[in-house]
């Protein structure tokens, strides 16, 4: 019976080109992530400038800034799911194809990775859900943007609240000039920051079971040049 398998040289050539193609895909999606983050930084800067420019500008500008940045975070979360899906393919090739080639040891091959990768090519699927993707981008990048907006908001409240001190005076100054009722305003503020905390917890719990970059290599001393 004739062997239908590709010759070794054709197989390795195909796999190398496949790896380069998938690597190009994740780099393309990585650039899209950076673009969305740049939009978020520019939008936050513009809205904070408006909020801090004059004392009579209502504090709801900072809440609107948070909502705009969260919208961009949601868009980046969607893009991150595509990036993560292609990154998973690249990591599978690196772990199960390139490592055995580098080590010249076929015993390093683990599981039926060829079938898994083939099924993903036939029926592509996301590897993480939208909630986890948004949580990861929030934890790594966007939390700092939200913190800067919060600091700017608190600074403006303190600048306006020069006559009295205390939490009651702080809250009273924060809701001055708002087009929304005080209760609704504070419910929105509390719900928003509660949502951020929830997404960060989800991201931290899910990262334990996912293949994100580690903060440091297993043996960093071996990489000294």
Residue 176 has φ and ψ, to the nearest 5°, of -70, 135
CA-angle at 30, arms to 117 and 195, nearest 5°: 95
- Rounded to two decimals, what is the model's pTM? 0.81
Long-range contacts of 154-157 (CB under 8 A, 24+ apart): 155/52, 156/51, 156/52, 156/59, 156/62, 157/59
Question: What does the pLDDT average to over 27-33?
Answer: 91
Q: What is the pLDDT of residues 197-217, one digit of tens each?
A: 999 998 888 755 455 555 555
Which H helix or E strand runs over 42?
A: helix 8-53
Q: Which of 211, 8, 12 is nearest to 92 (CA)?
A: 211
Name the helix (H) or strand (E) containing 193. Answer: helix 182-207
Lowest mean pLDDT among 40-44, 71-75, 95-99, 176-180: 176-180
Q: Give the ranges where 54-98 is alpha helix by DSSP (H).
A: 60-93
pLDDT, greater one: 112 or 119? 119
DSSP code, position 55: T
Q: Pick the range with the lowest mean pLDDT from 19-28, 157-166, 192-201.
A: 157-166
Mean model confidence pLDDT for the chain: 82
Q: For residues 36-66, b (16+ Cβ closer than 10 Å) or e, as one string?
A: bbebbbebbeebbeebbeeeeeebbbbbebb
Better-scored residue on pLDDT, 114 or 219:
114
| Residue among 86, 59, 75, 47 at smallest CA distance from 141 | 75
- Are the CB atoms for 202 and 213 separated by under 8 Å? no
Residue that has been written with the tokens 């975070």 in this structure: 73
pLDDT of residue 1: 42
Domain ranges in the chain? 8-209
- Give the chain's count of helices (H) and strands (E): 8, 0
Task: Name which residue leads in pLDDT, 4 or 65.
Answer: 65
Q: pLDDT digit string (tens) for 136-191?
A: 999 989 999 999 999 988 888 777 665 656 666 666 666 666 777 777 878 888 89
Residue-level pLDDT at 81: 93
């Amino acid at each position: 019976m004739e062997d239908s398998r590709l010759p070794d040289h054709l197989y390795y050539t195909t796999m190398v080109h496949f790896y380069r193609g998938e690597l190009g895909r994740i780099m393309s999606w990585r650039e899209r992530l950076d673009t969305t983050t740049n939009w978020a930084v520019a939008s936050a800067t513009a809205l904070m400038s408006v909020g801090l420019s004059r004392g009579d500008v209502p504090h709801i500008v900072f809440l609107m800034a948070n909502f705009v940045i969260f919208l961009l975070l949601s868009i980046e979360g969607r893009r991150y799911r595509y990036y993560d899906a292609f990154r998973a393919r690249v990591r599978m090739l690196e772990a199960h194809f390139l490592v055995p080639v580098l080590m010249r040891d076929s015993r390093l091959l683990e599981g039926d990775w060829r079938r898994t990768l083939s099924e993903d090519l036939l029926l592509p699927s996301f590897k993480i859900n939208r909630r986890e993707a948004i949580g990861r981008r929030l934890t790594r990048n966007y939390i700092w943007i939200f913190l800067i907006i919060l600091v700017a908001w608190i600074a403006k409240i303190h600048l306006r609240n020069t006559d009295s001190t205390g939490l009651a005076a702080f809250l009273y100054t924060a809701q001055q000039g708002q087009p929304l009722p005080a209760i609704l305003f504070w419910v929105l503020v509390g719900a928003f920051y509660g949502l951020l905390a929830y997404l960060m917890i989800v991201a931290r719990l899910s990262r334990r079971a996912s293949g994100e970059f580690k903060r440091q290599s297993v043996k960093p001393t071996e990489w000294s040049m």
